[in-house]
Amino acid sequence: AQSVSQHNHHVILSEAASLELGCNYSYGGTVNLFWYVQYPGQHLQLLLKYFSGDPLVKGIKGFEAEFIKSKFSFNLRKPSVQWSDTAEYFCAVTPGTGRRALTFGSGTRLQVQP
Amino acid sequence: NAGVTQTPKFRILKIGQSMTLQCTQDMNHNYMYWYRQDPGMGLKLIYYSVGAGITDKGEVPNGYNVSRSTTEDFPLRLELAAPSQTSVYFCASSGNYEQYFGPGTRLTVT
């Protein structure tokens, strides 16, 4: 079974700082990778996804993520965070074929200070 | 187009009571899922369905039951509520691999 690790549980940044959130997964086959965001009091929304092709994917709100197959990683980045990016961020994975239910990491709570 | 809707938004149950969490999607998705979210634990899969009449267990199915009589609806049933079932419950649906989530139900069992 696959698993997902998010090493940063709580990150505090000032506005305009750069962001990188780590995500590592364990699964031997092909995978689909996702980052979801949960703003306070809201449901999960998709930030970006990787299925195949260019390992650098761009999502909404200026976020991007890079898939590094050799490191089993899918780190999320943003060059300059805003106060409105305060939220919880979840990395998730499904196998490339077959089962479609997501396996989630434990989440990273991002707090951006104005 | 409402997406995925869930009712109720909040509920307090006493130990041993039963209830059904409702989930409806209007995107004609075949796949539907129930997750629970506990603080610091991420989301865990309870049950999922690949189409009407077909359901299967996820990682944490104990204490729950589901049914899928239509494409649109995927209710989650708690038969004998226990404090360990205090959590936030999310329903999701997908056509392919991208899942769409409902707003959640916050359940407290006391």
Q: Write down the domain spans for chain B.
A: 4-98
Interface check for B88 against chain A (CB to CB < 8 A): the answer is no
Closest CA to B63 of B76, B54, B49, B50: B76
Collapsed DSSP state (helix, strand, coil) of residue A89: strand
pLDDT band at A65 (very low <50, low <70, confident <90, very high): very high
Whether B18 and B81 have beta carbons less than 8 Å apart is answered as yes
Nearest to A59 by CA among A37, A80, A44: A37
Residue, of B76 and A98, whose pLDDT is higher: B76
Of the listed ranges A59-68, B21-30, B67-76, B94-103, the least confidently predicted one is: B94-103
pLDDT band at A41; cut points 50, 70, 90:
confident
pLDDT of residue A45: 92
Q: Looking at the complex, does the CB of residue B39 fall below 8 Å from at least one CB of chain A?
A: no
Residues A5-25, mean pLDDT to the nearest whole number: 95
Is the Cβ–Cβ distance between B76 and B47 less than 8 Å?
yes
Mean pLDDT, all residues of chain A: 92
Q: What was the pLDDT predicted at A64?
A: 97
Q: Which residues of B touch A3 (CB under 8 A)?
A: none
Considering only CB atoms, which chain A residues are within 8 Å of B90? Answer: 43-44
Identify which of A45, A51, A107 has the shortest CB distance to residue B97.
A51
Q: What is the mean pLDDT of residues B5-18?
A: 96
Cross-chain CB nearest to A101 (options B41, B48, B103) = B48
The answer to whether B42 contacts A42, with C-beta atoms less than 8 Å apart, is no
Give the Cα separation of B31 and B33 in Å (integer).
7
Q: Which of residues 53-112 of A touch B (CB under 8 A)?
A: 90, 94, 100-107
CATH 3.40.350.10 fits B4-98, yes or no: no
Q: With contacts defined as CB-CB under 8 Å, which chain A residues touch B98?
A: 34, 46, 49
B69-102 residue pLDDT tens:
999 999 999 989 999 999 999 999 998 778 999 9
Average confidence (pLDDT) over A100-110:
91
Q: Does B43 touch chain A (CB under 8 A)?
A: yes
Given this model, what pLDDT does residue B1 score? 65
Q: Is the pLDDT of residue B55 over 80?
A: yes
Topology, domain A3-113:
Immunoglobulin-like (2.60.40)
Band of the pLDDT at A42, cuts 50, 70, 90?
Answer: confident
A71 and A50 in contact (C-beta within 8 Å)? no
- For A34, other C-beta atoms within 10 Å of its C-beta total 27
